A and B are shown apart, each in its own frame.
Chain A
Amino acid sequence: RKEVEQDPGPFNVPEGATVAFNCTYSNSASQSFFWYRQDCRKEPKLLMSVYSSGNEDGRFTAQLNRASQYISLLIRDSKLSDSATYLCVCGYSSASKIIFGSGTRLSIRP
């Protein structure tokens, strides 16, 4: 079983729609969580950190469910520019490596 699992998609949704992704992690000791965005043939870049209480940044909302060991990303009012691959990232502790999921591909159509 992979340490971090994501639905690869692709998610193909119309502009303006709301879309949500989940990501599950296998190690209950995971302590830090992030969502990264990766555009085609570019390096990953941080979209947002995920805090225990959940957090929001504009149209993006991230939540953590420790009991079920998953994190989620919600995108409201999606834009064409949101088309990308979204990578879920987990870290076990400050002394540990960070692990990436395989990514969820999102395509927004006009």
Chain B
Amino acid sequence: DTGVSQDPRHKITKRGQNVTFRCDPISEHNRLYWYRQTLGQGPEFLTYFQNEAQLEKSRLLSDRFSAERPKGSFSTLEIQRTEQGDSAMYLCATQVRGQNTEAFFGQGTRLTVV
């Protein structure tokens, strides 16, 4: 499979627990994005990387959220002390840097905080 891969597909966790999601990009894609999507809304930008460098983090993102892309390949998104409001679909997308290039999405990780 040469597409964007996300793991796990589903995660149910208790409030207060930490969770970590993984995204494996398409191999030649050097740009990687994380988005959060709730029902009826479009994907909300969280953060993005150019290779291993994190270029921007949304101001809406609390300090409980952290993302890494240590070797410029796969990325992880960690949420500490989860809250019920964190329940959402977390989408990863990757892109070859450049204008007018398509971003490809993974199938997402659906998080439910109970």
Contacts and interface: CB of A to CB of B under 8 A. Distances in A.
B106 A102 contact: no
Nearest to B95: A98
B45 A94 contact: no
Contacts of A94: 97-99
Interface stretch (B11-19, B36-44, B63-71, B79-87): B36-44
A44 B100 contact: no
A98 B99 contact: no
Nearest to B91: A43
B10 to A, nearest CB: 11
B42 A98 contact: no
A51 B99 CA distance: 11
Contacts, number: 53
B6 to A, nearest CB: 9
B8 to A, nearest CB: 15
Contact of B40 (A8, A34, A93, A100): A8
Interface residues of B, number: 25
A31 interface: yes
B68 to A, nearest CB: 17
A66 interface: no
Contacts of A95: 50, 55, 97
B42 A102 contact: yes
Contacts of B98: 94
Contacts of A14: none
Given A8-B40, A43-B105, A100-B35, 16 more contacts: A6-B42, A32-B100, A43-B107, A43-B108, A46-B102, A87-B42, A94-B97, A94-B98, A95-B97, A97-B33, A97-B48, A98-B95, A98-B103, A100-B44, A101-B42, A103-B42
Interface of B: 33, 35, 40-45, 48, 50, 55-56, 91, 95, 97-100, 102-108
